[in-house]
Amino acid sequence: MPFLQNLSNALVLASTYVLMAAGLTMVYGVLKVLHIAHAAVYTIGAFIGLLVFSWLGNFWLALLVAMIGSGIVGVIIYRTTYYYMLDAPRIVPLITSIGLFVMLTDLLQKGFLMGPYQRAFPAGGAGMPRIRTSFISITPKQMLVLVVTIVLMTLVYLLLTRTRIGLGWQAASMDRDMAAAVGVNLNRVVALNFFLGSALAGAGGVLVGVYNNSVFATMGDLVSYKAFIIIVLGGMGSLPGVIVASVLLAIVENFMVAWVGYVLPRDAIAFLVLILMLMFRPHGLLGKE
Amino acid sequence: MFNGYVITIAVFVGIWVSLALSLNILVGYAGQISLGHAAFFGIGAYTSAVMTVRYGQSFWAGLLAAILITGIVGAILGLPSLRVRHDFLVLATMGVNFVVVAVFKYVDFFGGAMGIVNLPAPSLFGVSFRGGALYMALVWLYAGFVLLISWYLSKTWAGLALNTVRIDEDAAAAVGVSVPRFKIYAFAISAALAGGAGSFYAHFIGSVFPDTFAFVESIAILSMVIIGGVGTLRGPIFGAILLKSAPEFLRFAQDYRFTIYGALLVLMMLFQPSGLLGDDSWLWTLGKRIFRRPAASMQAEEAS
């Protein structure tokens, strides 16, 4: 495959990683909690999106409802569990998130929710144009993923840098206690944090569901493991780091398969990278000591 | 009373009691949370399977090799714990689990997705242990051995050193405890004991497949330790017996196994972080109050 084509494919993959990892890194930045249950939120987002889409047939409405729905799920998770654990030893929220993840993924596989099978999500490209030139071709679906991701990340960036509550978020992610001391409403900031992060994950779930035309209960697992690798690579808690690391991982994955061929399964390679990273650069590629 | 079904459950419970106790050395004593314990369980099972099926050795040689090799691998895989703490270590151990399962699955020597089958049953002086009450006795003997090691470890200087590492690594280093050495000790011992359990599992089932040792099993073992009471001896035993045998009695618990594990973990962390039978859990304090000897209570009253 030509270089540019590989690159554009990698960028599409990177977009899905960004949406997933952004929420994780935001939660880690403020709460210092490794929010493993985020994977379930992503799947719930895809599921809500599919329900709304098959009911109303409008993709954009489905995306919006899915984002709001998964955002609310994220806030509920926070208010019922982590909220009570802010001052507990770090093992407590960590095990809670493992428990939530196991519980939600198992529940989603039950017949009364999603069941153990795959469902189609036939939204197509939602009216996106196809780009086809002599050296590159981008399908409508790929356009959809790229455009939605870029728009959403720009909105989040503006929200976090240009608004009052965004400044509060920045302060809280530097030093939670200090931010509270200078009058930042921590509860609102953290709730917003969870809402935004979970909504992004929900959007990611919908987009991946449409892109692969399939939604299933364990679809979040693999992406979330990848997202862990990304937030470590990007230096935990850093949003720009997440974007750089997502692009990097996606490019490495794509080009490795294209040029080197199949050695171990992709995911095993990704985890080997993670373990080596943790041992030799535990603060990430862009992170500071 | 000892029909095949009961024996099978008893064997499984015994194996998982050993697994929970061995993980407890790492999590409860040394304070290193691992989400990769099933990897060690698997390495033990595969070592034993390879030794007996590929190289024609006896069960006993397989068991010994499983314990030794898993211990060595555990020491090596414990290396990330020297650099990273808490959340990062959890990610690293999770990664270890995925990589180990991937190796089992994609390396032909380990039989790939088809696994290794036809493992021999152990025998001693011409008596076969296959499937019977004898095998159950053997498994519980091993669980007793793991318990003995856990108990002994908690009484030694090494156990004390592990405690200080768990509570405060920097302070431990400051008072002269070699933190890296004891972390690696904990990983090696914990892994070796899990490897032995893997060997017993493999030879009971008679075959090994990669997916048995996947990430979810690591979560299950960790749940047993946490729900029972991390850091105590009674806790992991109780947790393993409860979580491993409940699905046999309750149809509901079978279908919703991981929902229940997850919900219990969350509830535990919210209301009883030390576990059901942890040192300051209400169940344990209640038990102590009921069973406290009158003399002791009189002394306590006098003292207060």
How does pLDDT run across A117-170, given as a tens digit for each residue?
788 888 776 677 777 777 777 888 888 888 999 999 999 889 888 888 888 888
Q: What is the 3-state secondary structure (H, E, C) of A125-166?
A: CCCCCCEECCCCEECHHHHHHHHHHHHHHHHHHHHHHHCHHH
Strand partners, B123: B128
Q: Nearest CB to A278: which of B83, B219, B266? A: B83
Q: Supply φ then ψ for residue A193, to 5 degrees.
A: -55, -50
What are the Cα distances from residue B246, in Å, to B23, B221, B236?
A: 21, 15, 15
What is the amino acid identity at position B181?
Answer: R
Q: What is the pLDDT of residue A289?
A: 47
Q: Is A41 helix (H, G, I), strand (E, B) or coil?
A: helix
Angle at A142 between CA A140 and CA A145, to 5 degrees: 110
First to last CA, chain A: 40
Residue A128 confidence (pLDDT): 73
pTM of the predicted structure, to 2 decimals:
0.83
| The most confident of A180-189, A268-277, B225-234, by mean pLDDT | B225-234
| Closest residue by Cα to residue B221 from B28, B65, B63, B67 | B28
Q: Report how far residue A158's alpha carbon sits from residue B187's, in angstroms, rounded to the nearest whole number.
A: 46
User: B84, A278: Cβ pair inside 8 Å?
Assistant: yes
Which segment of A22-36, B74-88, B142-156, B177-191 scores lowest on mean pLDDT?
Answer: B74-88
Contact B273/A88, CB-based, under 8 Å? Answer: yes
Q: What is the mean pLDDT of chain B?
A: 84
Specify whether the CB–CB gap between A12 and A142 falls below 8 A.
yes
Which residues of chain A are within 8 Å of residue B219 when distances are taken between CB atoms?
Answer: 98, 102
DSSP E strand boundaries for chain A: 131-132, 137-138
CB nearest to A99's CB, from B84, B105, B266: B266
Test A99 with B273 for CB contact under 8 angstroms.
Answer: no
Query: Regarding predicted confidence, which is higher, B249 or A200?
Result: A200
Minimum CA–CA partner of A278 in chain B? B84
Which whole number is the average pLDDT over A12-21? 90
pLDDT digits 0-9 by tens, A201-239? 999 999 999 888 888 888 887 787 788 888 888 877 778
What would the pLDDT profile of A249-288 be if each residue is shown by its tens digit? Answer: 888 877 776 666 555 666 677 777 777 777 777 666 665 5
Question: Taking CB atoms and an 8 Å cut-off, how many pairs form between chains A and B?
Answer: 127
ipTM of the complex: 0.80
Ordered by where they begin, the domains of chain B are: 4-271 (1.10.3470)
- Residue B299: pLDDT over 80: no
Q: Which of A12, A17, A7, A9 is nearest to A204 (CA)?
A: A17
Q: How far is B176 from chain A (nearest CA, A)?
A: 24
d(CA A12, CA A9) in angstroms, rounded, equals 5
**Do the beta carbons of residue A204 and residue A190 sit within 8 Å?**
no
Helix boundaries (H) for chain B:
4-24, 37-49, 59-77, 80-83, 86-106, 133-155, 157-167, 169-174, 179-205, 215-228, 234-249, 251-255, 257-271, 282-291, 294-303
Question: In whole angstroms, what is the distance from residue B83 CA to residue B263 CA?
Answer: 32
Q: What residues have CB less than 8 Å from A33, skipping those under 6 apart?
A: A27, A82, A85, A90, A93, A94, A97
Report the distance separating Cα A192 and Cα B207, nearest Å. Answer: 51
Q: Distance between CA atoms of B250 and B58, rounded to whole angstroms?
A: 38
Task: Check if A72 contacts B (Cβ < 8 Å).
Answer: no
Mean pLDDT over residues B268-297, rounded? 76
Q: Which of A104, A278, A280 to mutate to test the interface with B (most CBs of B within 10 A)?
A: A278
* Nearest alpha carbon to residue B120 among B109, B111, B131: B131
